[in-house]
Amino acid sequence: MPELEGRTALVTGGSRGIGAAICMTLASAGADVAVNYPGPDVPADEVVSEIEKLGRRAIAVCGDVSSAGDVERMTAEAVDALGGLDILVNNAGITRDGLLVRMSEQDWDSVLAVDLKSVFLCTQAAAKIMMKARSGSIVNIASVIGQIGNAGQVNYAAAKAGVIAVTKSCAKELASRGVRVNAVAPGFIETPMTAALSDKVREAAQEQIPLRRFGEAQDVANAVAWLCGDQASYITGHVINVDGGMVM
């Protein structure tokens, strides 16, 4: 039997990049998946139809993960459509890079809202359901930048360090209710987010990576799916780096 047969999952920012790979990998492992996207178009349709081709149930749930009202509504939609919530993957994220002295307050606020506040809101909504069920697995997508910092990313580094702290605090708080909370910290991964990097930045980044290449979205998705399943049932509050050895 596939590892996640009969489980239901909500993946934030599941319409493309790492989130889409996570949706497909969870579905391949047997899960039914609610694919969140921020709207107003429905870019999650393609992922939904690919999941259905695997014989799993899927729905697209529209919502801005930094809005408490949207998070409450989309979580309820996912539970109503799929009949429960066993897995939450907090994947949605944005970057608004700039040097500290030039960074606008708005760029600080929007990254902290989409990358960190969202984890609080979505985890809070999911935890209420998982605590009642006395089981569940939450995986937060952090970043190695939250561990080592990065020039030009003070907002993103702060948000991702916060994601790691939220992961550990929630793991301690929810463990007695059978809910595990872990994080995956990717290094440089080939996605639309990193496609914007110049050749010079890309080459400099590769020099810092012992495996000398960027990872694929699938590398991150594999770690997430493993953490969601029973093979990781004694693991909580942990951060797995998927970074080609960049941070060790």
Rg (CA), the chain: 17
Is 75 among the residues that bind ligand NAP (CB under 6 A)? no
* Residue 12 touching ligand NAP (CB under 6 A): yes
Tell me the three state secondary structure of residue 231: helix
Of positions 40, 55, 192, 210, contacts ligand NAP by CB under 6 A: 192
Select which of 156, 188, 214, 226 is catalytic. Answer: 156
Measured distance CA(137)–CA(151) in Å, rounded: 33
What's the full length of the chain, in residues?
248
Interacting span for ligand NAP (CB under 6 A) from 87-95, 127-135, 171-179, 201-209: 87-95
Q: Are 183 and 240 in contact (CB under 8 A)?
A: yes
Interaction pattern, residues 121-160, with ligand NAP; x per rule: CB under 6 A: --------------------x-x-----------------
DSSP 3-state assignment of 103? coil
- C-beta separation of 155 from 96 below 8 A: yes
Which x/- pattern, by CB under 6 A, does the window 13-52 give for ligand NAP?
A: x-xxxxx----------------xxx----x---------
Query: Which H or E run includes 217?
Result: helix 217-228
244 binds ligand NAP (CB under 6 A): no
In angstroms, the first-to-last Cα distance of the chain is 35
The residues of the shown chain that bind ligand NAP, judged by CB under 6 A, are 12-13, 15-19, 36-38, 43, 64-66, 91-94, 114, 141, 143, 186, 188-189, 191-194
Provide the annotated active-site residues. 156
